[in-house]
Amino acid sequence: MLQRRLPLPAHLLLLHILPLPLLFPRWFPMGHGGRSTHQLTHSSPFDTHSQLRVEGPGHTVTAAVGQDVVLPCHLSPQRDAHSLDVRWIWDKFSETVHHYRNGEDLYGEQMGAYAGRTELSRDGLSAGSLDLRITGLRPSDDGRYICTVEDADAYAETIVELEVRWGLCLEMNPSHSKAPDTGFFPSHRN
């Protein structure tokens, strides 16, 4: 008896294209310190350079509305990233924030909200830095970003959490609140 292979429905095809943490983020919770690293690799026994690993900052990045921010991401160990496919994805909608491949920024898939506001830092690419600069932060930029890296043989990703605040939050400390000449501590009145 001959078996006929049926085509997969479109929603099942995604399982073969996108990594599971992107498709099912609730099933893959973030690790300690707001960072999670996932690696999916394929390598041949003769290829020693196919292993990719990316790391984020290990803590939440915080910035104020209107500021510029750098979302850190780097290859570990250091390796030239000029020829890699680097994509930053906003986790909320799994859409592309910035895409870089083989020395070029590719804006065709970029979310409209980020048009003209993102830049992959070129200075550190030769040392494996994949940092993304976002200019003019908006409240809607708050959330999780996924830094993905791919070459012909391997794929890796890490999550960077961005917290956007409305202004600078200064920690109130009595030693900093004291007026220098009088020794008077201001108090709050209701």
Per-residue pLDDT of 89-111, as tens digits, reads 999 889 999 999 989 999 999 99
CATH value at residue 78? 2.60.40.10
Does the pLDDT of residue 138 top 60, yes or no?
Answer: yes
In a domain, 180, yes or no: no
Q: Which domain holds residue 124?
A: 38-168
For residue 103, being part of any structural domain is answered with yes
Task: Classify strands 104-105 and 118-120 as parallel, antiparallel or unpaired.
Answer: unpaired
For residue 19, name the pLDDT band (cuts at 50, 70, 90): low
User: CA distances (Å), 3 to each of 6, 7, 10, 174, in order?
Assistant: 9, 13, 22, 77
- Prior bond to 9 cis, omega within 30? no
Number of domains in the chain: 1
Contact by Cβ (8 Å): 19, 38: yes
In whole numbers, what is the pLDDT of the chain averaged over residues? 75
Is residue 115 one of the residues assigned to a domain?
Answer: yes
Q: Is residue 139 part of a domain?
A: yes
Residue 92 lies in a domain: yes
* In the block, residue with structure tokens 């979302």: 71
Q: Is residue 7 part of a domain?
A: no
Say what the pTM is.
0.65
- Asked if residues 75 and 130 have their Cβ atoms less than 8 Å apart, the reply is yes
User: Bridge-partner residues for 129, per DSSP?
Assistant: 74
Greatest mean pLDDT range, 20-24, 25-29, 103-107, 183-187:
103-107
